[in-house]
Structure 1
Amino acid sequence: MIHRIRTLNAISPSGLNRFPHDFEVGPDVADPEALLVRSANLHGLEIPGSVLAVARAGAGTNNIPIPAMSERGVPVFNTPGANANAVKELVIGGLLTAARSLVAGAAYSRSLAGSDAEIEAAVEKGKKQFVGFELPGRTMGVIGLGAIGVLVANAAVALGMRVIGYDPKVTVERAWQLSASVEHAASLDEVFKRADVVTTHVPLLDGTRGLVSYERLALRKRPRILLNFARGPIVDEAGVLRALDEGLLRAYVCDFPSAALNAHPKVLAFPHLGASTNEAEENCAVMAVESLSAFLLDGTIVNSVNFPAASLPRAEGTTRLAIANSNVPNMVGQMSTLLADRGHNIADLLNKSRGEIAYTLIDIEGEVSSDLLDHIRAIEGVLSARLINGHTAPTN
């Protein structure tokens, strides 16, 4: 069977080459089973009914209509951690740049004219305006301790900084990776009261929009540096500009320029460079391709933002049913009863749930009737269903 993948952006060949040879991949693939994107905006785009999955070669998925995909039983995959090192390096670079006024200092030097002696004199006279501070002993507050936040926190510890982290949903895996020197803050307000540097590493959700507000920035009266390499709207732009004008912030360094930010002398905005390294693009592409391949070939779910993780070793000589349904009682019971009534024996079964979505993998022994999917899909609450790698017999 040939699986069809439509790409909506240029994807690193290092990733695309990971697809099995019998996959058809490209921007013009008809009736795709999956979409592979980076920055393409899928909101308002008509997504073909043939699509079984969507993958983004990146961490953020705000360019994908996730609720609509969930209603169709379509998993959305991302690549958490694939660009973590690239973002970490940019965050530390932004911190050092702001702490030592490197961009302003370099611009000043470039503006100087005259002889070497005249430039040297001007340098000695003007350098006082670019006096910075050193990092050891300063406190960094890290909001969000996922893959990127943990790397940033550990890097700051290595630079001699005190680090406090806030993430009420930190995973056990990330907690193990976090330096023992990192102190856990009890609240966001504690971070803003104590930190000389605040850096954000959370996804853009309703609960994180405007998370960095003027009121929080005003909790500490000494100037601090604010770093935002997560998403622009996590920071309330008007509040940040007010804090800069009032001296509550020494600098705002971000990856999201705007007209208002570009006009302020204390803002350093990069052109969305967080994941712009060859290594990060390759890592994201590889992870997205592997997630899509595992899903299409075996029904495996890994790194999905709307479906539960699910992996079931294949039982030899079986046909696999992959079913997405509303997370309501007796769904598995109805499926099992239907299979039994039609004479199908279940060799293995896995059922996982996440929020309102449940996902079931069922390995069935022997031949499967060609109309089985019609009967499965007719169960109220089933969102999608497909057969994987099996043998079907004609219906009598």
Structure 2
Amino acid sequence: MNVIGYDPYLSADAAWHISTRITRARTLGDALKSADYVTIHVPKNEETTGLIGSEQMEIMKDGVKLFNYSRGGIVDNAAAIEALDARKIRTYYTDFGENILLNREDVVVTPHIGGSTIEAEANGATQGANTIMTYLETGNILNSVNLPNLQVPFNAPYRVTIIHQNIPNMVGQIATALADAGINIESMSNAARDGVAYTIIDLDNLKNEEDNKLIQRLSKIDAVYRVRVLKK
């Protein structure tokens, strides 16, 4: 089987885990027109609702088999029925049933179990535990629902992490506060998501008794939500 995939949001980290046997399409159209089997694997949001409609089905191969096991509404079911009647789509498989899909030999509606398989539940629990441990031990954030992703190798002796509002001059105020305390910054990284920002600062030296003083100093900055000091 030759696999072709399209993901406009593919991160560099995720790309490392993708098999070299998968061909990456540059556009959604390139992927659709080349496939005998089309499977959809996306979350449902404003951008993906109606992602596969009559226009996308028109450029698919004749006799294609279409699978939607992502979310209802990502594939336009009315358009799928028209494509089935025209034999553009040979079979449509989904676990999001609607009345218009029932009692058709060219539509296979299966029970929807989402991610609730034994394997998915176990993997999800393991991933969640590992993500929390990574944050507690290194301050790195991955797959948070309300904070930006930020992963920086923890190579310095000390690390300061700060959650704050995403407004101008926050990084400047933080750097000034550290300079006023006579603390040298070895490296600094910052990322933002909507109205919240996250800053990681690595330090080459910090006396034990300075931990609480530093937390208090940084916490006094307006728009700072949370400060942590980590020791490697």
- Corresponding residue for residue 281 of structure 1: 121
- Corresponding residue for residue 239 of structure 1: 79
2:164 counterpart (305, 314, 325): 325
Query: What is the deviation of 1:226?
Result: 0.4
- Corresponding residue for residue 47 of structure 1: none
AA paired with 2:228?
A: L
User: Scaled by the length of structure 1, what TM-score is found?
Assistant: 0.48
| Distance in 2 separating the partners of 1:300 and 1:171 | 17
- Corresponding residue for residue 207 of structure 2: 365
Query: What is the deviation of 1:323?
Result: 0.9
CA distance 1:331–1:282, change in 2 (3 Å): same
1:222 counterpart (62, 87, 94): 62
2:226 counterpart (374, 385, 390): 385
Check the 8 A contact 2:188/2:200 in 1, yes or no: yes
AA paired with 2:50?
A: G
| Distance in 2 separating the partners of 1:367 and 1:315 | 18
CA distance 1:173–1:340, change in 2 (3 Å): closer
- Corresponding residue for residue 106 of structure 1: none
Equivalent pairs, count: 225
- Corresponding residue for residue 310 of structure 1: 151
Query: What is the deviation of 1:385?
Result: 1.4
| Distance in 1 separating the partners of 2:179 and 2:61 | 69
- Corresponding residue for residue 201 of structure 1: 41
AA paired with 2:94?
A: C
Describe the superposition over 1:20-55 as per-residue Cα deviations: whole angstroms up to 9, x where unpaired: xxxxxxxxxxxxxxxxxxxxxxxxxxxxxxxxxxxx
- Corresponding residue for residue 352 of structure 1: 190
Q: CA RMSD in A?
A: 3.3
Matched, 1:290 2:130: yes
Query: What is the deviation of 1:301?
Result: 1.4
CA distance 1:315–1:277, change in 2 (3 Å): same
| Distance in 2 separating the partners of 1:212 and 1:389 | 47
Query: What is the deviation of 1:334?
Result: 0.9
* Identity across matched positions, percent: 35
Check the 8 A contact 2:160/2:230 in 1, yes or no: no
Matched, 1:254 2:94: yes
Check the 8 A contact 1:321/1:385 in 2, yes or no: no
Structure 2 gap segments, 5+ residues each: none
CA distance 1:355–1:196, change in 2 (3 Å): same
| Distance in 2 separating the partners of 1:293 and 1:272 | 32
Higher relative contact order (CA 8 A, sep 6+): 1
AA paired with 2:152?
A: S
Describe the superposition over 1:344-392 as per-residue Cα deviations: whole angstroms up to 9, x where unpaired: 524644313245553222354332475755653453453x2133468xx
AA paired with 2:33?
A: K
2:141 counterpart (301, 308, 320): 301
1:340 counterpart (176, 179, 184): 179
| Distance in 1 separating the partners of 2:198 and 2:166 | 8
| Distance in 1 separating the partners of 2:55 and 2:226 | 49
AA paired with 2:84?
A: L
Report the secondary structure of 2:173's partner residue. Answer: helix
| Distance in 1 separating the partners of 2:171 and 2:40 | 41
